[in-house]
Amino acid sequence: MEEPANSVAAFGKAQAAGTSRVEHVIHWNHGNATERSEMVAVEEPLEIRCRGRAVTITMRTPGHDEELAAGFLLTEGVIQSRHDLLRMEPCNQINEDGTENNVLNVLLAPEVAVDFARLTRHVFAASSCGICGKASIDSIRTRFPVIESTAEIEVSTLITLPDKMRSAQVAFDSTGGIHAAGLFDGQGRLITLREDVGRHNAVDKVIGQTLLSGRQADVLMVSGRTSFEILQKALAARIPIIAAVSAPSSLAVEFAREMGQTLIGFLRDRRMNIYTHAHRVLR
């Protein structure tokens, strides 16, 4: 289901989901100190399980957890389509001190094989910082084919995406400290946007949303920099164009060039750098 930016922004100044109010904050401004309340982004752990076994624990902003799990499992190569998912069930646990463990158990189709050893080795201990290591990168190249999409987008459309994404960032308006990822079609229409304290989580959430809804996007836009893992997630979701308001890493550029992805950085103030496969950007 399409989620235009103006419908998301319509929440106005109401407290955004995934935010919390902190009281008694001392605000210092030009030598004057005042006490006030401030909104901050919520950060809590989520444990994702497959067939009852933990495959990752990630620090995320609560909300859209099923999308996060679906996107994570797709980008890790555990599932290939929405038909591999039977259902997702929260099974939260109460600890002795009264706190709650956020747990989501994913039930997969019987024919889906899960390499728990690989997931534990490469993901479980480093879910917040991404997949690292040459062996992991080589594995991704093997599992996901090169992008051969014919998708294109006009420069005049590309330069409008940052404002469209920014206008939909309700939680950022409240906190000033939360990442965003948005998916667009080739005409610059916003398909979906999600916010999260983790940039990779925000990407997983939008990918999961389109997986569950059956939508396909042409452009992934992120609010920060583009790392290798962002490119890897877009590759798994078959998204051909990745854009960001900030810089890419050297590995992201190398990976995008090799895997047929169009990588755009510093997309802001009507400017951009097109690092790879510029033929998809029409002038």
Residues with catalytic function: 129
The count of residues in the chain is 283
Residues contacting 273, CB < 8 A, separation 6+: 264, 265, 266
Residues contacting 30, CB < 8 A, separation 6+: none
Strand partners, 220: 183, 242
Strands (E), 42-186: 44-50, 53-60, 85-90, 93-94, 100-101, 103-108, 153-154, 179-184
Rounded-to-integer distance, Cα 221 and Cα 265, Å: 10
Pairing of strands 241-244, 262-268: parallel
Residue with tokens 């190398």: 254
Strand partners, 87: 107
CB atoms within 10 A of CB 6: 11
Q: Return the ∠ at Cα 138 (arms to 109 and 256), rounded to 5°.
A: 95
The answer to whether 208 and 75 are in contact (CB under 8 A) is no
Give the residue from 256, 254, 225 showing the smallest Cα distance to 239: 256
Strand partners, 145: none
Pairing of strands 153-154, 179-184: unpaired
